[in-house]
Amino acid sequence: MGLHNNTRENLSVPQHRGGLINKYRDRLPVAAQTRAISLEEGDTPLVELHNISKDLDVPISLHVKYEGMNPTGSFKDRGMTMAVTKAVEEGSQAIICASTGNTSASAAAYAARAGIKAFVLVPDGQIAMGKLAQAMMHGSVVIQIKGNFDEGMHLVKEIAEQAPLTIVNSINPYRLQGQKTVAFEVVEQLGAAPDYHCLPVGNAGNITAHWMGYAECARGSNNTTTKACSYCSGKCPYARDLVQTRPVMVGYQASGAAPFIKGKSIENPETVATAIRIGNPQSWEFAWSASRESDGWFDHCTDEEILKAHKLLAEREGIFCEPASAISIAGALRDIRNGKIPPRSTVVCTVTGHGLKDPNTAISQCEGRLLTVTAKTDTVKRAIFDNL
């Protein structure tokens, strides 16, 4: 028997109007009639790390905001729903970005959803396999350049001046407007702002957007929220008095790709965390404002520390993220242990991308874990009993 037409009424399922533009329409630069290009992004889990906290021996309330649970597996979808919605509204037929992988996957998906074209520039051989598969499957034109992200970004800016293409990197202000909603959700989920918010920093758009969101939730005097946002020239129409405090913002970079720690851009960034293999961050000034205004700091973690946290989060908490995302855990754990983040703090780490994005790095972390045996009862039993 097929489903009856009135199944929805029988089950009392409300009409689902998901996606962050619909949810936060009055806190985003969209009109009531703007058609949202959405894949029902946002509304991601905030998961408390019970096991890792227990191991720490320091009383702490430690959480991850699991942004890998967005439709294309990364936080980029929050910005992309806004950027593509506005591009379509303004009549654009094609979008372009440079990417270390996740932006290209997200741009490709939202362009497919909107029925427009996407061109993505990625560093040849330096993007994780899952991300490349996504960009290709969604039908974007994938252009691998013999160069790094920073060179790709430079090319995109130059080419977009000569062709009818909308840039959807985070220099597009709508990207950060969408991404700020992550802070709205954390405030709703915790019922307050956390004391510390830790996250990976590459191009530095996301730390800026997080801070914009928190600043809008806790309006300062005369509606000025933060210098990290220039969207409304200092008079923020989205400022609210939802909470009284804002978190300290802590940004971590890979040691081989750490311009914020060096204090200047670097020529040849290198790290296993390919998503944040960036030497010339586009949101440099904004991110410094976020850091200064929140009394925060930037620090760096080695590839070894990143991979250790990558594995720890998967093994101890069942949360699988990509290497770049794990840097927020690596850094936070170090700063909790050394007291920079004091005991009894509430800490949120943004886990920016899903682990399935980069299966190669994950598998290389598990050497010796694959047991291959003959298809016989005794050999399989032995493999089980030896490991009980």
Q: What residues make contact with ligand F0G under the rule CB under 6 A?
A: 74, 76, 99-103, 170, 200-206, 275-276, 322, 324-325, 352-353
Question: By C-beta, is 61 or 231 nearer to ligand F0G?
Answer: 231
Structural tokens at position 241: 């008095």
Q: Which of 92, 93, 101 is nearest to 120 (CA)?
A: 101
Helix (H) or strand (E) holding 96: strand 94-98
Shortest distance in whole angstroms from residue 103 CB to ligand F0G: 4
Q: Is 344 left (phi over 0), alpha (psi -120 to 50) or beta?
A: left
Q: Where are the alpha helices (DSSP H) in the chain?
A: 7-11, 20-23, 50-56, 76-89, 102-114, 129-137, 149-160, 173-179, 181-190, 205-217, 259-262, 284-293, 303-317, 323-337, 359-364, 377-385
Torsion of CA 186, 192, 198, 200, to 10 degrees: 20
Shortest distance in whole angstroms from residue 286 CB to ligand F0G: 10
Question: By C-beta, is 53 or 103 nearer to ligand F0G?
Answer: 103
Assess contact for 97 and 169: CB atoms under 8 A.
yes
Question: By C-beta, is 222 or 362 nearer to ligand F0G?
Answer: 362
Question: By C-beta, is 129 or 242 nearer to ligand F0G?
Answer: 129
Residue-wise over 155-192: b if at least 16 C-beta within 10 A, else e?
Answer: bbeeebeeeebbbbbbbbebbbbbbbbbbbbbbebbeb
Question: By C-beta, is 150 or 216 nearer to ligand F0G?
Answer: 150
Question: By C-beta, is 137 or 371 nearer to ligand F0G?
Answer: 137
Shortest distance in whole angstroms from residue 341 CB to ligand F0G: 20
Shortest distance in whole angstroms from residue 101 CB to ligand F0G: 5
Rounded to whole angstroms, the Cα distance separating 188 from 286 reads: 25
Q: Is the dihedral of CA 366, 369, 372, 376 positive or negative?
A: negative
Shortest distance in whole angstroms from residue 282 CB to ligand F0G: 8
Question: By C-beta, is 19 or 101 nearer to ligand F0G?
Answer: 101
Question: By C-beta, is 100 or 181 nearer to ligand F0G?
Answer: 100
Q: Is 127 left (phi over 0), alpha (psi -120 to 50) or beta?
A: beta
Query: Tokens 């990207």 map to which residue?
Result: 175
Shortest distance in whole angstroms from residue 108 CB to ligand F0G: 12
What is 343-374 written as a DSSP string? Answer: TT-EEEEEE-BBGGG-HHHHHHTTTT------
Question: By C-beta, is 38 or 352 nearer to ligand F0G?
Answer: 352
Shortest distance in whole angstroms from residue 324 CB to ligand F0G: 4
Shortest distance in whole angstroms from residue 273 CB to ligand F0G: 8
Rounded to whole angstroms, the Cα distance separating 2 from 42 reads: 33
Rounded to whole angstroms, the Cα distance separating 138 from 131 reads: 11
Shortest distance in whole angstroms from residue 182 CB to ligand F0G: 11
Rounded to whole angstroms, the Cα distance separating 23 from 341 reads: 33
* Residue 166 DSSP SS3: strand
Shortest distance in whole angstroms from residue 59 CB to ligand F0G: 29
Question: By C-beta, is 22 or 167 nearer to ligand F0G?
Answer: 167
Q: Which of 347, 356, 353, 303 is nearest to 325 (CA)?
A: 353
